[in-house]
Structure 1
């Protein structure tokens, strides 16, 4: 499961400590997966009464998830108190999907809150199938910036989807049209869709890809960090017709998608120091809109009154 380190201009706790949270996420995700499997195996092995389930959940610390993402900050507790249902899926495959779906709200919280600040997260992200695809289909060591907004001098600029892997940066623009249409790659300004020999123009994805690449390269240069960058036009629903791919650019259409995805899913590597340096540098140039968390005001008010 890729790690969501930034959404648009929401505040992210990865901005607070880029070198701590990625490793913590991986450790605690693995730890709680083992606990969940223990609970699941216990329920499969024998009929369990409600009281026994409750006792088991207390022992594994699964139902309340207090142990999940064990915090260093005092006020993370309220974020992680959601209770889970006792009834688990019957198959291990379904259990894995159940676990991934359960993780999504926690990732969204990590990508929209810190110890003392929060952003008002659009509820639509909980049902965003594209976001879910990038989070659930890629390894834990891939760090995802989902349409980040960059703050450069006095201007804000929207970016494409960015995946920071242990070995490089993928800047991705998703192009998905009707399933009966073919995408025809054109120049840097105009591409086409084609159906029944009728072509329709649309804005080339290379425009935003090149803009995002230019931003990322300038950030890395200013931070004195070197890392490979590749641009990707991705379509999971359409074939892409082209004569040649531009330099450091891949066109991944419907026919290439499964192989491309499989290569990334099977990629095995720990988090790399240079990867985290890159993530930290990029996050420093991301725009952030956030407010003070209400519980801090309550705490200060209580302290003052005493």
Structure 2
């Protein structure tokens, strides 16, 4: 599952510690999947798992246990999306090496306070059905990580619970992908809403989404407006290339200032419509309903672990984001720690 690093202007746990959270997410996901799968197979609740994530963190600081742990987790999850998980041991090492994290470094308090404990809500008939139940609960947990810390919280618009593109990206892409979903950057005291930014281990994808009516056709051009056709109705819409080029320009400036060398690719995406662009637009991919399945399938197959330059790019963006949140009361914090995932 791609990691939801930033959602709109919500407070994110990844802002607190980008060094630790990506690998923490991978370990937590693997451990709780194993617990849930074993509970389903045996038909009995497993009571000894709820603190395993915490014990795992302690062992992770020991170099000997780190090697054993990587092998153990890889062994456990051979039936949970093997193409996604087979590089997780490399991912953990890369995350630690990239940020020069020492074994003695203490874990931030936020990391230890929010356990993900999925429940079997009904009795699935197949392992595939169980996986879907698990992934759906993990998606809601990701939204909590992307909108709260131990001390702060942001109000999440209900639409994100039902956002099909957000679910598609987070639930189907590898763990090594870092997702910024319509983040708001603060540049020269002015907030600027971006589109979708997807940091893969080897590149940065700037995605401008063009999804309106089902089967709408968009006739593109180099002008300020495109033509949208739905049946016999024609309507002018603002060219997505305007905001897409602005995204690219902003990210190039950020990356240049922070000495980050990572290629930026521009994409106009329409999963439910058609895009016709006479001529050519330099450096832009148009992914519509016809091309989406093949493009997305290729995107899912990237086997690379997380990279140092990818982390630097993510941190560069996080250093510029706008955040709107409120401080939680002590009472709210205690309730959250107890009931977050029940």
* TM-score, with length taken from structure 1: 0.84
Choose 1 or 2 for highest CA Rg: 1
How far is the alpha carbon of 1:138 from its aligned partner? 1.4
RMSD: 2.5
Q: Distance in 1 between matches of 2:320 and 2:304?
A: 27
Spell out the pairing of 1:1-306 with structure 2 (5 A cutoff): 1-43=1-43, 53=44, 56-59=45-48, 61=49, 67=52, 72-74=107-109, 79-80=114-115, 84-85=119-120, 87-196=122-231, 199-295=234-330
How far is the alpha carbon of 1:120 from its aligned partner? 2.2
For these two proteins, the number of residue pairs brought into alignment is 284
How far is the alpha carbon of 1:236 from its aligned partner? 0.8
Q: Is the 8 A contact 2:154 2:326 kept in 1?
A: yes
Moved more, 66-75 or 239-248: 66-75
Q: Which runs of 5+ in 2 are unaligned?
A: 58-106, 335-342
Q: Is the 8 A contact 1:188 1:207 kept in 2?
A: no
Deviations 1:98-141 (A, max 9, x none): 11101012111111122322222223322222211221121111
How far is the alpha carbon of 1:86 from its aligned partner? 5.5
Q: Is the 8 A contact 1:66 1:81 kept in 2?
A: no
Q: Distance in 2 between matches of 1:155 and 1:267?
A: 36
> 2:100 aligns to what?
none
Q: Which runs of 5+ in 1 are unaligned?
A: 44-52, 300-306
